[in-house]
Amino acid sequence: MTKYVDQGKNDTRSGYGAGMTELGRTNPNVVALCADLVGSLKIQTFIDENPERFFQVGIAEANMMGIAAGLTIGGKIPFTGTFANFSTGRVYDQIRQSIAYSGKNVKICASHAGITLGEDGATHQILEDIGLMKMLPGMVVINPCDYNQTKAATIAIADYEGPVYLRFGRPKVANFTPVDQKFEIGKAVMLSEGTDVTIVATGHLVWESLIAAEALEAQGISAEVINIHTIKPLDAAAVLKSVKKTGCIVTAEEHNYLGGLGESIAGMLATQHPTPQEFVATQDTFGESGTPEQLMEKYGLNNKAIEKAVLKVLTRK
């Protein structure tokens, strides 16, 4: 299998901040809005260099979405920023009515997604945001896997005309994708070819899938690992090509199995190529307080859980 090297741990939210810094220097139409979380979103450099293009709306997330929708009418490209829970659940009506229904060119950028928010607990963690966003007609949903890919995704969505949900996280995780990568919306990335099982992962679970694939290789199992950074539109062709070769699939995500990446793939496969599938995801539950590592272990969202799911799905081929 292809070997990937951890270039040094970094948080994906810092990738967003780095992407915004570059956009501030290259795209004069990009503006940033934030709901009192500048430090958490890592956008201080953008603000320092472009103070006239930053809007601090305070703890008024619904108002932020309305302002962002209005800014698009004047040709601006607004990037809204707050925690994923407050970027989606708290403002779903505003996103649906003012952004998605109208097809506004708003980039909804959501940090601290999933349970790896950690000690802040279930009220701030969200495990249903991908489902909420992917159900909105015309909404693109992106969940990059590391710092480099988050930076590339942030830059890429500025050139896309239409609403986008960009999801990223708080903890420092392995940074392993190319520094100067080209990010293609809706195009899966083949990380390692294999013949026995397909592992499709998104976000923080991509690196965990690569670790699992190495452990499986030591057991004589050849795993194909695919990074699905864009959940909607889904790269169905890449998934179909892989499962027609391997005959089974494991999906891995830091999200509820209801409404997430795994559900999208299951629906697609049910109609196009029925395939044995196992889900590595939370099982219809809220999170709780704890360190990211403790929570990933408890809720079965790490390399050990992926390895176990692969061994199970292989018995169903």
The position carrying tokens 């708290």 is 90
**CA 279 to CA 263: how far, in whole Å?**
9
Strand 223-227 relative to strand 277-282: parallel, antiparallel, unpaired?
A: unpaired
From 22, 49, 52, 61, the catalytic residue: 61
**CA 210 to CA 189: how far, in whole Å?**
13
Q: What angle do CA 19, 25, 30 make, to 5 degrees?
A: 70
List the one residue out of 117, 122, 56, 126 whose CA is nearest residue 86. Answer: 126
Pair of tokens at residue 9: 């741990």
Q: Catalytic: 61? A: yes
List the one residue out of 63, 65, 34, 29 whose CA is nearest residue 47. Answer: 34
Residue 217: helix, strand or coil by DSSP?
helix
Give the residue numbers marked as catalytic: 61
